Structure 1
């Protein structure tokens, strides 16, 4: 006769409970979850925000700041809005009172025909692992005039990617090429030149993040 604690005599729900308990064992400590999508039964979408660690915060500080000389806050504000518009952000909103510019850029990253097939399969009750579907990049530009040191322009770009299950993951962009792209177009506007437009990106194509000149091709 088998002992009650023998593996074959343990209730099935015990193994499931242990599996669910261990599912979060490897969780990234920098991830914040707002909506967990349920455990046994999916009842909502899951949103994850990934905070920067100390090394990443230092990298962001290295990328995001530019002093533009003795430029008025209003002029720097307008130049920041021009730069984001040239990069394909829309809408772009400026707040002259707090010297803040915000913009949003959306694009599809999945194939629509594949999404349609997946929707038909899921409609039959067959669970599928989520795949990237669309993304939204948010830009936040702050202006800080300083009579002694010149005006500081600080940029931050956050990217949210949604998958085919409706779950999302938000991270702060640390790609130096993107920040360089913004500051190049900021300089264009401050120097009286029209900022170069961002090359168009078709749905499903790799985004060049406007690092190539207008009419050029993305590298890599």
Structure 2
């Protein structure tokens, strides 16, 4: 015969046993939904328990990120006229895969958009089946859209200033989105390298 355990089992009332998991779930969801200081909810679709529509979040740059961006987004060119810089910027964005790309020589603005899938489609198909059956799944990145804005302005000593800014919006499998400014130097280095190739008459690829 087994010896009784020195620690008696604690049995919660039936009602509390049912309520406890629900309370833990709600507490967990509340903790996960706490926004970061630099995140702004620009469109709220409700809670995860009662989702009415998609949710949009905009991530503002921190002071450190603003400083990083200011160091990588500008290039000055000597003996380059504004219209030539606009054309070269347009060619650079097209070489990076942006489509469509629009260039306005009157306002010296170049804009482009790049869309791509970041999720694995066969996995997303399986996730869709589970969601259709009411089985909750954690959201995963699905696709993203990168928007480019390039401005061309006269600088000192007759030089021309080219300033680029890339913003990315990532949608997840729940339809929610998060928009932030790209601060990865590789993105800007690639753009300015292709811009220089275009100014030098080299074919961009």
Tell me which interval the TM-score lies in, with the shorter structure as reference length.
0.7 to 0.9
User: Would the aligned equivalents of 2:146 and 2:167 in 1 still touch at CA under 8 Å?
Assistant: yes
CA RMSD after TM alignment: 2.5
User: Would the aligned equivalents of 1:70 and 1:147 in 2 still touch at CA under 8 Å?
Assistant: no
Counterpart-to-counterpart distance in 2, 1:128 and 1:143: 46
Aligned partner of 1:130 among 124, 130, 139: 139
Partner of 1:75: 84
TM-score normalized by the length of structure 2: 0.83
Counterpart-to-counterpart distance in 2, 1:187 and 1:21: 49
Counterpart-to-counterpart distance in 1, 2:75 and 2:184: 16
1:116 has 2:138 as partner = no
For residues 16-27 of structure 1, the aligned pairs below 5 Å read 19=27, 22-23=30-31, 26-27=34-35
1:55-105 C-alpha deviation (Å, 9 max, x unpaired): 110100000000011311111000000000011111001111210101111
Deviation at 1:20, TM superposition (A): 8.3
Deviation at 1:26, TM superposition (A): 4.3
1:191 has 2:165 as partner = no
Partner of 2:149: 140
1:156 has 2:139 as partner = no
Query: Whose radius of gyration is greater, 1 or 2?
Result: 2
- CA 1:177–1:111 in 2, change beyond 3 Å: closer, same or farther? same
Q: Following TM superposition, where does structure 1 have runs of at least 4 consecutive aligned residues deviating by more than 6 angstroms?
A: none
Q: Secondary structure at the match of 1:140?
A: strand
Name the one with the larger helix percent. 2
Gaps of 5+ in 2: 1-12
Gaps of 5+ in 1: 1-7, 198-220
User: Would the aligned equivalents of 2:76 and 2:155 in 1 still touch at CA under 8 Å?
Assistant: no
Counterpart-to-counterpart distance in 2, 1:49 and 1:140: 17
